Amino acid sequence: MLGLFRERALLGLVGVDFGTHTLKAVTLAGRAGKFAIESAVEVATPKGALVEHQLQDIERVGGALKSLRSLLRHSGSLAATAVSGSHVFSRVLQLERELDGSDLGTRVQLEAEQLIPFPLDEVSIDYEVLGPSPNDPARHEVLLSAARTESINGRVMALAEAGWQTRVVDVATHALGRAVLACYPELAAEGKVVALLDVGATTLSFAAMVRGEVIYSRLQNFGGDNYTQSIATFYNLPLDEAEQAKLRYNLPDHHEQDVTGPHVNALLQHIRRNSQLFCSASSFRELGTLVLCGGGSLMPELPAMLTAELGIEVLHPDPFALFAGESLPLAGQGPRFMTAFGLALRSFIPCPR
């Protein structure tokens, strides 16, 4: 992983999120604790260039990133991006509190050899001390993160094609958690589980955050494209027309019974299943709050529907409404830009080492 090296200074990092359908970028102006979103832009991802979160055509993506950069008000050359998918691994370790410096690094390396399901010479490893373990005061919780070096290098090379120097490569769920805490800082003190649900075009990302730290994440093949396909199939529409009907919410009568209701029910099944898997692997027994993000979260009334079915608080953050210094052309689309926003926030946060 790549890091920052200056305390609290605004490096002017551009947060760049690689999505299946669009490449998104966010820049900030100001300082830590008092900032505004300066710009938020997107361009289409070249078709077939990003498959299962892996770049397949760096040159074409680099060209799209050049177009993305030209839309920004920001002229800086430093970028933060993230990796996600099956080639990313995270685990919270319970290690002795007396370990520090090189001893801690050596111990984490030993743990990584046992836990990471890839050859270590093919991955980049990073770790962060989260603090004392709530279950054992003699131990610290240490977050271990790893990603295939190939995944990191592909993004770094594509950004370089557009003239950006990559200063941070984060894990997408951690960037999302950072964005959520910027929108709802009170969640950092929450001892209950805060579930983060990012509904993308092709994948559903579920993460659990406790006391401001993401401690669990899981990715599944389910997203907005499933809804589009259902619309196209049920109403015999071409996929592009079904996508536009979905985005404009200009659907035929009775769509609630035909396609929308079944899609929401499938989403609920995924949420409940992910909740069960998390609880079975941890000491927690239920979710306290659900935070809904991503393009697939923009379905009208979806937060209210999930609240009614799950019986818990469902939040739907819009960073544009909270932090936009001026009116942005993508007003109302803030939930789609949460990961890019969380990456831009790395402007204020140095790496722990």
H/E stretch holding 175 reads helix 172-183
Rounded Cα distance between 197 and 209, Å, is 11
Residue 204 sits in the same domain as residue 304: yes
Rounded Cα distance between 298 and 195, Å, is 18
Domain that holds residue 138: 88-146
Residue 301 sits in the same domain as residue 323: no
Residue after which a domain boundary falls, among 98, 129, 146: 146
- Residue 113 in 3-state DSSP? helix
Residue 200 sits in the same domain as residue 300: yes
Residue 129 sits in the same domain as residue 25: no
Q: Which residues pair with 145 in a beta bridge?
A: 90, 126
Residue 337 sits in the same domain as residue 224: no
Structure tokens at 270: 């995924």
For residue 62, give every residue at least 6 positions away whose Cβ sits within 8 Å of its Cβ, in sequence order, or none.
Answer: 157, 158, 159, 160, 161, 162
Q: Position of tokens 């949460």?
A: 338
Task: Report the domain count for the chain.
Answer: 3
Residue after which a domain boundary falls, among 97, 119, 146: 146
Rounded Cα distance between 214 and 197, Å, is 12
Question: Can you give the pLDDT at residue 350?
Answer: 59
Residue 219 sits in the same domain as residue 287: yes
Residue 180 sits in the same domain as residue 63: yes
Question: Can you give the pLDDT at residue 191?
Answer: 81
Rounded Cα distance between 146 and 216, Å, is 14
The Cα diameter of the chain in Å comes to 64
Q: Provide the phi-psi class of 8: left if phi over 0, else alpha when psi is between -120 and 50, else beta.
A: left
Rounded Cα distance between 196 and 186, Å, is 15
Residues 193 and 278 sit within 8 Å (Cβ to Cβ): yes
Closest by Cα among 196, 175, 215, 195 to 84: 175
Residue 208 sits in the same domain as residue 223: yes
Measured in whole angstroms, the distance separating CA 35 from the mean position of its chain's CA atoms is 21
Residue 141 sits in the same domain as residue 290: no
Say which CATH number the domain at 95 has: 3.30.1490.300
Structure tokens at 273: 């299943």
Residues 143 and 49 sit within 8 Å (Cβ to Cβ): no
Residue 28 sits in the same domain as residue 136: no
Rounded Cα distance between 294 and 105, Å, is 35
Q: Name the H helices within 38-117.
A: 58-71, 101-115
For residue 94, report the phi and psi dihedrals to the nearest 5 degrees: -110, 105
Q: Name the H helices within 204-334.
A: 224-235, 239-248, 255, 261-280, 302-310, 319-323
Residues 198 and 177 sit within 8 Å (Cβ to Cβ): no
The pLDDT tens digits along the chain (353 residues) read: 444 333 344 578 999 999 999 999 999 988 888 899 999 999 999 998 988 888 999 999 999 999 999 999 877 899 999 998 877 888 888 899 888 888 898 999 999 889 888 888 889 888 888 888 877 888 988 888 888 899 999 999 999 999 999 999 999 999 999 999 999 999 998 788 999 999 999 999 999 999 898 989 999 999 999 999 999 999 999 999 999 999 988 998 899 999 999 999 999 999 999 999 999 988 899 999 999 999 999 998 999 999 999 999 999 999 999 998 676 788 889 999 999 999 999 998 754 43
Structure tokens at 100: 């520090």
Say which CATH number the domain at 173 has: 3.30.420.40
Q: Positive or negative CA dihedral for 202, 179, 86, 165? A: positive
Residue 36 sits in the same domain as residue 63: yes
Rounded Cα distance between 120 and 241, Å, is 46
Residue 208 sits in the same domain as residue 274: yes
Distances from the Cα of 82 to the Cα of 79, 241, 323, angstroms: 10, 31, 22
pTM of the entire predicted model? 0.90
For residue 340, give every residue at least 6 positions away whose Cβ sits within 8 Å of its Cβ, in sequence order, or none.
Answer: 15, 16, 17, 24, 25, 26, 40
